Amino acid sequence: METFRLFLTDYTLQIVSLGSALLGIVSAVIGSFAVLRQQSLLGDAVSHAALPGIALAFMFTQRKETAVLLLGALITGLLAALLVIIIDRYSRIKFDSALALVLSVFFGGGLVLLTYLQKIPNANQAGLDKFIFGQASTLLKSDINTILVVGLIIILTVIFFWKEFKIISFDPEFAESMGFSRRKLTLLLSGLLVAAIIIGLQTVGVILMSSMLIAPGVAARQWTNKLSMMLILAAFFGGVSGLIGTVLSSSITHMPTGPTIIIVISIFVLLSLIFAKNRGILWKLINQKKMKKDKNSISKGD
Higher-pLDDT residue of 78 and 131 is 78
Lowest mean pLDDT among 42-56, 117-131, 221-235, 264-278: 117-131
CATH of domain 2-291: 1.10.3470.10
Which residue would you say has higher pLDDT here, 200 or 25? Answer: 25
Tell me the whole-structure pTM to 2 decimals: 0.85
Give the three-class secondary structure for 271.
helix
- pLDDT one-digit tens code per residue, 162-180: 988 998 888 888 777 887 7
Percent of the chain scoring above 70 in pLDDT: 91
Task: Concatenate the DSSP letters of all residues of 191-258 into one string.
Answer: HHHHHHHHHHHHHHHHHHHHHHHHHHHHHHHTT-S-HHHHHHHHHHHHHHHHHHHHHHHHHSTT--HH
Residues 197-247: tens digit of each pLDDT: 888 887 888 878 888 899 999 999 999 989 999 999 999 999 999 999 888
Spans of all domains in the chain: 2-291
Percent with pLDDT over 90 in the chain = 22
pLDDT of res. 127: 67
Q: What is the pLDDT of residue 221?
A: 92
The residue ranking higher by pLDDT, 140 or 77, is 77
- What is the chain's Cα-based Rg? 21
